[in-house]
């Protein structure tokens, strides 16, 4: 069975790379943290890896809107050889490989046109903007998974708890036609959930007011997955603010956090299909 390798990019204000690498390693993959300049200068190739990880942070200080500068850099950057980085990302997906973006990484994937990519043209079809609350949200939320989603990242997950840490997490689609394609193709793969485990518009369970109560999107292939909550921040049950209560109610529960399931899913999927 092949060794799965994850590339975790960093630099330009990304600051969750260590947690993202830990998630890959705990899930059974090898993980390298590499500055994006090393990739752009072609001293490291994304094609040597199976999973491309875009972690959270505050790239370029969010000065022009969250991840807009980073998304443009990914889209228009020419590498040392003159190749467009965008073309290398498309080639990476054509090789059957996978991408995950969390928080700022999710914002970048949306703004560079990789999510939801409902049309298949890699054009921006949505944006992520200021929370409806008008403030930075730092809280734990519960998310529910669309059972009809085809992305392997969330296989066999029904609900999961994760923290959110963002000021701009409200997802808005460019038009009704795009919104309908997202519904029809089940690209809205993860939603903020209420106490009943069902999608909710209620604040604070829905921390940002996203359309379709969306906490995460995948592309039509299922290879690209992004979400605003931080799965890499819940790798152990002891990360949870109510871990003591959870343990008392279920003493035999696993010590693994809900977020680790996402990374184990993709690592196991790659191994099984290698």
Where in the sequence numbering do the catalytic residues fall? 103, 230, 232
Instruction: Indicate the DSSP class of residue 159.
Output: E
CA dist 269 and 153 (Å) reads: 8
E-state strands within 132-246 = 137-145, 159-166, 170-173, 188-192, 214-218, 224-227
Sign of CA dihedral 45, 54, 40, 224: positive
Q: Look at residues 162, 164, 140 and name the one whose alpha carbon lies nearest to residue 236.
A: 162
Peptide bond into 116 cis (omega under 30): yes
Assigned token pair, 196: 């009943």
Furthest-apart CA atoms within the chain: distance in Å: 58
Peptide bond into 54 cis (omega under 30): no
Q: Report the SS3 class of residue 189.
A: strand
Identify the residue whose tokens are 């931080």: 230
Q: Contact at 8 Å (CB) between 87 and 75?
A: no
Q: Report the SS3 class of residue 264.
A: helix
């Amino acid at each position: 069975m092949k060794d799965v390798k994850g590339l975790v990019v960093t630099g330009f204000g990304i600051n969750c790379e260590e947690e993202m690498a830990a998630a890959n390693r705990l899930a059974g993959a090898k993980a390298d943290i590499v500055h994006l300049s090393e990739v752009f200068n072609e001293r490291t190739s994304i094609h040597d890896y199976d999973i491309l990880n875009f972690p959270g942070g505050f790239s370029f200080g969010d000065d022009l809107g969250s991840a807009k500068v980073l998304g443009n850099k990914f889209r228009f950057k020419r590498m040392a050889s003159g190749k467009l980085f965008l073309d290398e990302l498309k080639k990476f997906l054509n090789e059957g490989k996978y991408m995950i973006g969390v928080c700022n990484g999710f914002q970048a994937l949306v703004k560079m046109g990789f999510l939801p990519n409902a049309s298949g043209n890699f054009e921006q079809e949505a944006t992520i903007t200021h929370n409806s609350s008008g403030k930075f949200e730092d809280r734990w939320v519960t998310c529910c998974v669309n059972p009809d989603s085809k992305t392997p990242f969330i296989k066999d997950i029904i609900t999961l708890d994760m923290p959110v840490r963002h000021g701009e997490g409200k997802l808005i689609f460019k038009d009704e036609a795009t919104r309908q394609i997202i519904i029809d193709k089940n690209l809205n793969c993860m939603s903020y959930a209420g106490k009943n485990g069902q999608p909710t518009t209620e604040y604070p369970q829905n921390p940002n007011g996203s359309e379709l109560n969306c906490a995460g999107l995948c592309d039509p292939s299922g290879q690209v997955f992004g979400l605003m909550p931080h799965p890499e921040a819940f790798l152990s049950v002891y990360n949870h603010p109510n871990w003591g209560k959870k343990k008392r109610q279920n003493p035999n529960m696993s010590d693994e956090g809900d977020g680790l399931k996402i990374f184990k899913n993709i690592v196991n999927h790659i191994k099984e299909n290698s």
